[in-house]
């Protein structure tokens, strides 16, 4: 769009009264502290209503070309791009702070074929990239001989759009100065990070696809930095953000086109007209217990901010939307005791620390590679045992010894000091520890479906530990390939950094992620349950980020991006930033289509 039009719309945006954006950013460390769900209210000015003609649809209180719902990576990107394209934009955020769960995240974005890869001459070719994404995200459908790799045409076009436009989104944000990205350096990792399935043969670029905002890189401010930079760009360009404004209805005209929304603000209903489109980027439903009970195998706790209640699902259904897979989520294990006390947890058990550490199920048996990424590892909780009418892995028991808690204390969920982890169980011997774990489970029985250790747990667990000790000494885990691939080793180095002052020696064994357990106690246990960063299910979109109706056709004027829609990448967390990358891409796609269609 030409500069005159952009400047004209900046002036129009100034006329949207009664709107302020929070002047402060809540840092990630603050959001992670404590229960993780308390939000300090930000003062917002009252919204002066300015009624306009609704062309037979009733009065409108506000009017814009594009109305963006939410203010995290998806909606924030959409708003920035739409404003840069010359549209008059209005952002509605139901929380008293901007940024959503993005502000609590690490702020990294996983992007195909981005500018740094291109500058380095690394070819992230589309055919191979899509094979990796589909093989990992839709394994039951994957067919490399199919033109759509086994997916239906729409889902194939959606994941293809992520490849085609993800790097464009990053380039545009850089060109605008809205967000500055540089080579991935998560928490001082000084080399490109491995993808979460770096070992799959389809993955021809197994490292280096993750970017992070330059401001806040290598610190706890990554996600807050990304969200804050997007909001700052909008403020600088006079794009209003209405806080404490919850959308309650999608408005359609007689022809079925979405023309605006109704929202609740300060106890009143306001109507906001959207001349070109309404873009939802409102997060998932991890804090909606009813939806989780209906659609998820189980979520005890979530890292999402409390605004993630799935508002878009019933709103879109009422507008005639087709639902995609509602059962998907970005998963992480959580400390069970913490999650039972408060569903909103500060941290998930993302990368499990320690080398003399294993996970066992209720029968005392290992069921997963403990160093696998959090999204895939958490799915090991869900298999059903038809012989016992039970979910044997519903809870898992993280067993470790004095070496691990001393060497890696402070790497969550290990405490730096034992008293800092109230859900740590300690025993002088394995039997003493297992008895205490059983007593702890009895206290939680009413909240876990009566979960308890099997009678053979102690005997099996001791055999499992002995077997693991042999694997550690040999450097090979024939059961679950722990430490075989780069992901395990690289992320272990990052998240199992040795504690300053530890008396434990470096691991002398061949595989750095495995060390035999000590012959003598004390021994420890932390009970883990399935949780989530947020859910990833909702209305189905097409390659233009348009929400589809039940007949498969787009609902004119309605768009979605981020965790509120059916995941474009299926069940796969492709690598660090696997949620924010698609959010940026489809926020960008939605904005461009809405403005230019």
Give pLDDT tens digits for 189-245: 567 789 999 999 999 999 999 988 766 544 445 557 888 889 999 999 999 999 999
Query: What percent of the chain clears pLDDT 70, i.e. is strictly above it?
Result: 87
Strands (DSSP E) along 321-449, which ranges? 329-335, 357-360, 396-401, 425-427
Q: What integer is the mean pLDDT of 36-47?
A: 28
* Distance in angstroms (rounded) separating the CA atoms of residues 405 and 521: 12
* pLDDT tens-digit readout, 416-465: 999 999 999 999 999 999 999 999 999 999 999 999 999 999 999 999 99
pLDDT at 214: 65
**208-222: per-residue pLDDT in tens?**
999 887 665 444 455
CA neighbor of 133 nearest in space, from 107, 115, 160, 168 = 160
Residue 263 has pLDDT above 70, yes or no: yes
Q: Tell me which of 89-98, 166-175, 216-225, 541-550 is least confident.
A: 216-225
In order, the DSSP letters of 449-461 are TS----TTHHHHH
Confidence of residue 14 (pLDDT cuts 50, 70, 90): very low
Closest residue by Cα to residue 189 from 466, 440, 421, 491 = 491
Q: Which residue has the tokens 């595989």?
A: 511
* Alpha-carbon gap, residue 326 to 446, rounded angstroms: 27
Tell me the helix, strand and coil percentages in the chain, rounded to 5.
35, 20, 50
Q: Per-residue confidence at 58, pLDDT binned at 50, 70, 90?
A: confident
For Cα atoms 427, 432, 435, give the angle at the middle one, nearest 5 degrees.
115
Position 157 pLDDT exceeds 70: yes
DSSP SS3 for 365: coil
Q: Give the helix ranges, DSSP H, for 282-426.
A: 289-295, 312-318, 336-341, 374-378, 402-408
Residue-wise burial string across 435-466, b where 16 or more C-beta atoms lie within 10 A, e elsewhere: eebeeebeebeeebeebbbbeebbebbeebbe
For residues 122-126, average pLDDT: 97
Helix 73-84 vs helix 153-176: crossing angle, to nearest 10? 70
What is the separation of C-alpha 175 from the centre of its chain, rounded to a whole number of angstroms? 26
Catalogue all structural domains in the chain, each as residue range(s) with its CATH number. 3-16+54-105+225-330+534-565+578-596 (3.50.50.60), 109-213 (no CATH), 331-533 (3.90.700.10)
Per DSSP, the residues of 318-339 read HTTBPB--SS-EEEEEEEHHHH
pTM of the model: 0.90
Q: Are 580 and 69 in contact (CB under 8 A)?
A: no
Residue matched to tokens 């589309």: 126
CB 256 within 8 A of CB 60: no
Coil, strand or helix: which one is 487? Answer: helix
CA 141 remoteness from chain centre: 23
């Amino acid at each position: 769009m030409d500069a005159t039009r952009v400047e004209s719309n900046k002036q129009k945006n100034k006329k949207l009264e009664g709107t302020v954006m929070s002047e402060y950013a809540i840092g990630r460390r603050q959001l992670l502290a404590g229960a993780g769900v308390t939000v300090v209210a930000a003062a917002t000015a009252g919204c002066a209503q300015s009624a306009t003609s609704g062309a037979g649809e009733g009065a409108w209180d506000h009017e814009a070309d594009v109305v963006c719902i939410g203010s995290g990576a998806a909606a924030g990107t959409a708003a920035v791009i739409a404003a840069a394209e010359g549209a008059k934009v209005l952002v509605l955020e139901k929380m008293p702070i901007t940024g959503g769960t993005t502000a609590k995240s690490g702020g990294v974005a996983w992007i195909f074929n981005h500018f740094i890869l291109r500058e380095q001459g690394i070819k992230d070719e589309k055919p191979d990239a899509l094979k990796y994404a589909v093989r990992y995200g839709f394994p039951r459908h994957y067919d490399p001989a199919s033109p759509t790799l086994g997916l239906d045409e729409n889902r194939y076009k959606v994941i293809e759009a992520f490849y085609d436009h993800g790097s464009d989104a990053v380039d545009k944000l850089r060109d605008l100065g809205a967000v500055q990205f540089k080579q991935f350096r998560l928490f001082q990792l000084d080399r490109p990070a491995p993808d979460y399935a770096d070992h799959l043969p389809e993955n021809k670029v197994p490292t280096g696809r993750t970017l992070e905002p330059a401001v806040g890189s290598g610190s706890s401010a990554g996600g807050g930095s990304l969200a804050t930079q997007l909001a700052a760009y909008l403020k600088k360009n006079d794009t209003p953000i209405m806080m404490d404004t919850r959308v309650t209805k999608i408005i359609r005209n007689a022809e079925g086109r979405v023309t605006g929304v109704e929202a609740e603000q300060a106890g009143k209903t306001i109507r906001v007209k959207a001349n070109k489109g309404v873009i939802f980027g409102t997060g998932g439903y991890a804090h909606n217990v009813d939806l989780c009970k209906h659609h998820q195998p189980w979520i005890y706790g979530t890292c999402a901010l409390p605004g993630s209640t799935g508002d878009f699902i019933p709103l879109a259904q009422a507008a005639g939307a087709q639902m995609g897979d509602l059962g998907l989520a970005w998963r992480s294990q959580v400390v069970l005791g913490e999650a039972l006390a408060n569903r909103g947890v500060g941290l998930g058990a993302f990368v499990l620390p320690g080398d003399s550490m294993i996970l066992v199920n209720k029968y005392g048996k290992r069921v997963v590679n403990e160093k696998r990424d959090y999204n895939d590892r958490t799915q090991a909780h869900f298999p059903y045992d038809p012989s016992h009418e039970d979910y044997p892995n519903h809870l898992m028991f993280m067993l470790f010894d004095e070496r691990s808690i001393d060497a890696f204390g402070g790497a969550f969920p290990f405490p730096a000091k034992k008293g800092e982890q109230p859900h740590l169980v300690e025993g002088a011997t394995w039997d003493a520890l297992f008895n205490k774990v059983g007593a702890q489970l009895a206290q939680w029985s009413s909240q876990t479906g009566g979960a308890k250790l099997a009678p053979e747990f102690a005997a099996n667990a001791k055999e499992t530990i002995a077997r693991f000790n042999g694997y550690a000494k040999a450097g090979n885990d024939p059961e679950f390939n722990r430490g075989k691939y780069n992901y395990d080793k690289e992320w272990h180095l990052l998240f199992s950094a040795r504690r300053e002052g530890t008396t434990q020696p470096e691991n002398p064994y061949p595989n750095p992620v495995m060390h035999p357990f000590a012959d003598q106690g004390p021994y420890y246990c932390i009970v883990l349950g399935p949780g989530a960063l947020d859910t990833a299910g909702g209305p189905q979109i097409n390659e233009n980020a348009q929400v589809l109706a039940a007949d498969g056709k787009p609902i004119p004027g309605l768009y979605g991006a981020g965790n509120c829609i059916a995941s474009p990448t299926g069940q796969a967390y492709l690598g660090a930033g696997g949620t924010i990358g698609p959010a940026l891409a489809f926020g960008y796609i939605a904005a461009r289509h809405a403005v230019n269609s």
